[in-house]
A and B are shown apart, each in its own frame.
Chain A
Amino acid sequence: MRRKVGVLLPIELSILGSGLDLLRQGVPEFHGYAIARAIREGGAGRRLTAHGTLYRALDRLERDGLLESRWEDPGESAIEHRPRRRFYHVTALGEAAAGAAVSPESQLAAPLRRRMAGS
């Protein structure tokens, strides 16, 4: 789907909304699988978001400054014998963009409005 500049796609709104949900629950950062699971549990879909869709959207959001990421310290992943995680968090710009997107005139933000209304 080709998007207009400054317009958020539904998957991007879902990521931002779920990321803000996690933040409110005291989880400041999330990795790819965690956000896919959060989106599913938020009711935006019955299945986990596809790899390509998810990571492409994360890529776009980070490029636009709505998310920031860091790679986990290798020592932490080594202790748990698992691959390194890439942690994301929603920036202030991302929070503002999500807020603007859930304004009543937005056509794309129905799922996010439902989520924010419930929180």
Chain B
Amino acid sequence: MTTLAPGPAPARSSVAAGGGFARWWVRVYTAGLLPPVRLARIAEIDSDIWEHRRDHYLESDRAPIGLAILSRAVRGMPADILWRFHVEGPKMRISIPFDRLAGALLISLMVFMMVGGSTNYIDTDPTVFRSELARLASEQGESTFETVWAFISGFALIVAAGVFYAGLHRRAQMLAALAAFGLFAGGLLIVLDASLSAVLLQVADDFGTNTATGPDDLVAPARVLALSANAFSLAAFVAVIPSVLLLAVIVIREGLVPRWTRWLAATTAGLFVLTLAAGITDAFNRLGPDDDGLLWPTGAATFVAMFLLLIITGLSLLFSGRGTGSPSQPIDPAAGPGGGGRPSEGPAANQLSASLAAAAASSHPVAVAVVGSLVVLAIAGVALGGTSF
């Protein structure tokens, strides 16, 4: 796009950084504005940067152009924010494109869960539990990291629940509420798991690193703590997966991600049901601790499918999110003088509102109630059943 006259070549990285920051900033402070207003301001800044660069080259100016552009962008930031305030009036709303925020959040959740899931497990088998306590005592640093990580993951899930509900409740109120509830419950259970793990670490520390001489009276309460922590961890897993699936249903139905991801969502759901069935079968059959039947294979497969779903959905939302407006849309010269004022909503906004209203209206209450009941029952069942192993 930029065909510039020859001249002294400033450091390309400097120009790119200065211009890049200015372009990024205009997209940030105009996010959420109506497309005509937003695109007009973005186009003006893009034009200004281009003219500034061309002027610089034509004048054979050796001053750092990237720094000059950066300086103009930074010095103007307070005025930009005041302009935004003026455009939106006293009820200024900070509107971040939800699609991208959701994408970033999903990927973060995936990372949290991958790290947490790969580290946070305590073997409660009575025959090896003394060794497990000794391991926890000898690996205090690593175990403490895992516990802190679990705390952070739990709180992150609780925050994610709020963000997703805020972003999705207008699109599909019931589904969004259930998904948020599941995430919130999962977060809370992980925090409880982390709390119990913290106490267990203290007990393990008291137990000492010597398996042979560790006091016996600490083993039983430590095992109760470990069993409870594992149960909460499993319950969190059961709470989070249906929530992820509900979120997937919403974003697929809204067309925010490729339609083929529904097959991945369906696979995850199928594996999840198999895992639940295997867990229930194991509980009834009272299989030995080393014989978990299909529970672990299906559980692991569910995790893998869910991670794939999360990463594909997250990346799709992050990099191709609809956001609010798009630079590729044509500029409407009738946006109003200087892009100011508060123009009426255009056809694109009306179309989006209509599709969101239709999506919200299509949430079948019976299906929602069934899924919601299953989630609650599964959480309660696993939380109670887990402690009886």
Let me know if B169 is at the binding interface, CB within 8 A. Answer: no
Let me know if B170 is at the binding interface, CB within 8 A. Answer: no
Task: Select one of A53, A58, A61, A82 contacting B76, CB under 8 A.
Answer: A53
The answer on a CB contact under 8 Å between A32 and B41 is no
Query: 4 other contacts beyond A50-B79, A68-B337, with CB at 8 A cut-off?
Result: A52-B76, A55-B45, A82-B51, A82-B54
Per-position contact with A for B32-46: 1 when CB-CB < 8 Å, else 0? 000000001101111
Let me know if B68 is at the binding interface, CB within 8 A. Answer: yes
A residues in contact with B22, CB < 8 Å: 51
> Could you list which residues of chain A lie within 8 angstroms of chain B, going by C-beta atoms?
31-34, 36-37, 47-56, 58-63, 67-71, 80-86
Question: In the complex where A50-B73, A51-B45, A53-B76 touch, is A37 in contact with B83 (Cβ < 8 A)?
Answer: no
Task: Select one of B41, B47, B71, B74 contacting A82, CB under 8 A.
Answer: B47
The answer on a CB contact under 8 Å between B79 and A62 is no
Chain A, residue nearest B336 (CB): A63
The answer on a CB contact under 8 Å between A86 and B76 is no
Q: Which of B1, B3, B41, B47 is the most central at the interface, judged by chain A CB atoms within 10 Å of its CB?
A: B47
The answer on a CB contact under 8 Å between B83 and A56 is yes
Let me know if B75 is at the binding interface, CB within 8 A. Answer: yes
Chain B, residue nearest A85 (CB): B47
A residues in contact with B77, CB < 8 Å: 52
Question: B187 to nearest A CB, angstroms?
Answer: 39
The answer on a CB contact under 8 Å between B341 and A63 is yes
Let me know if B48 is at the binding interface, CB within 8 A. Answer: yes
The answer on a CB contact under 8 Å between A55 and B44 is yes
Could you list some 15 contacts between A and B, CB below 8 A? A34-B51, A47-B68, A51-B48, A52-B75, A52-B77, A53-B75, A53-B76, A55-B44, A59-B83, A60-B338, A62-B337, A69-B338, A81-B2, A83-B47, A86-B44
The answer on a CB contact under 8 Å between A69 and B337 is yes
Let me know if B339 is at the binding interface, CB within 8 A. Answer: yes
B residues in contact with A84, CB < 8 Å: 43, 47, 331
Let me know if B6 is at the binding interface, CB within 8 A. Answer: no
